[in-house]
Amino acid sequence: MKLLLTFSKKKGREPVIAQVVKQTGVLISVERAHIDSVSGEVLIDVPDTDAREVCDLMQAKGVTVRILEHGVSLNEEECIDCGACVSVCPKEVFYMDEEYRLHLRDERCVLCGKCITACPHHALSQTL
C-alpha cells in the first residue's frame, strides 16, 4: 500500500522514517521524495498488512499520512492510445497490447506526474 507522508519543517529534521522502521520492523521502501525548505513530501510503499501500524506511528510522530488508493487515472474518452506516456514513466506503469491499446498497472504508480504533462490529450490525471 502506498502512503503519502507530509512533514512539517521541524519534523523534517528528525529521522522519522528510520525510527518507524526500527520500532516496527516493517520494511518501508521510499518511492519518491520531495523536500524543500518549508516542508517535505515522501511517498512510501509498505506491505498491506503493516500499513495500519505504520500509519498510526507516523501520525503519533506528527506526520500527516494519506493512503493513496489509486495511481494515476486514465480518461478513456480522451485517450487515443498514442503511447506518448509509455516511455516517460519511470515505473513502467503503461504498456500496449497486441492491438496497440493502452493498459495501466496503476499499482506501480508513484504519482511522479511525468505522464500527466507528457500526455498530449489531457487523458491522465491524479485523483487525490
Partner 1 sequence: MEKSLELINQKIRDGNATVVTADRMPTLVDEIGEDRALNEVDVVTTGTFGAMCSSGAFLNFGHADPPIRMERVWLNEVEAYGGIAAVDTYIGATQQSTTLGEQYGGAHVMEDLVSGNMIELHGTSRGTDCYPRRTITTELVIDDLNQAIMVNPRNAYQRYNAATNSTDRTLYTYMGTLLPSYGNITFSGAGALSPLSNDPGFRTIGSGVPIFLCGSTGMIIGEGTQHSPAGGFGTLMVTGDMKEMHPEFLRAATMHQYGVTLYVGVGVAIPILDKELVRSTAIRDEDIVVDILDYGVPSRNRPSLRKITYAELKSGKVELNSEEVRISSLSSNRKAHDVACTLQDWIKKGKFQLALPTKRISTTKISRPMRETARVPRVRDIMNTNVVSISEDESIKTAARKLLRGDTNHLPVLDREGTVVGIVTTYDVSKAVVKEEKNQKVKDVMTIKVIKTVPDEHVDVAAQKLERYNISALPVVDERNHMVGMLTAIDLGKLFGKRWQK
State the residues that interact with partner 1 by CB under 8 A: 80-88, 92, 95-96, 99-101, 114, 117-118, 120-122
Residues 117, 118, 122: CA angle, nearest 5 degrees: 65
Q: Cβ 77 to partner 1, closest distance in Å? A: 10
Contacts within 8 Å (CB) and 24+ apart, 9-16: 9/37, 9/38, 9/39, 11/61, 11/62, 11/63, 12/39, 12/40, 14/61, 16/58, 16/61, 16/63
- Taking CB under 6 A as the criterion, the residue among 67, 80, 103, 127 binding ligand SF4 is 80
Which of ligand SF4, partner 1, none lies near 96, with the C-beta cut-off 5 to 8 A by kind?
partner 1
Cβ distance to ligand SF4 smaller for residue 18 or 82: 82
Please tell me whether residue 114 binds ligand SF4 under the rule CB under 6 A: yes
Please tell me whether residue 89 binds ligand SF4 under the rule CB under 6 A: yes
Q: Count the residues in the chain.
A: 128
Which of ligand SF4, partner 1, none lies near 44, with the C-beta cut-off 5 to 8 A by kind?
none
Which of ligand SF4, partner 1, none lies near 112, with the C-beta cut-off 5 to 8 A by kind?
ligand SF4
Q: What is the DSSP letter of 57?
A: H
Which of 69, 92, 97 shows the shortest CA–CA distance to 81? 97
- C-alpha cell at position 88: 516517460
Applying CB under 6 A, the residues found at the interface with ligand SF4 are 71-72, 74, 79-85, 88-91, 93, 102, 109-115, 119, 121, 123-124
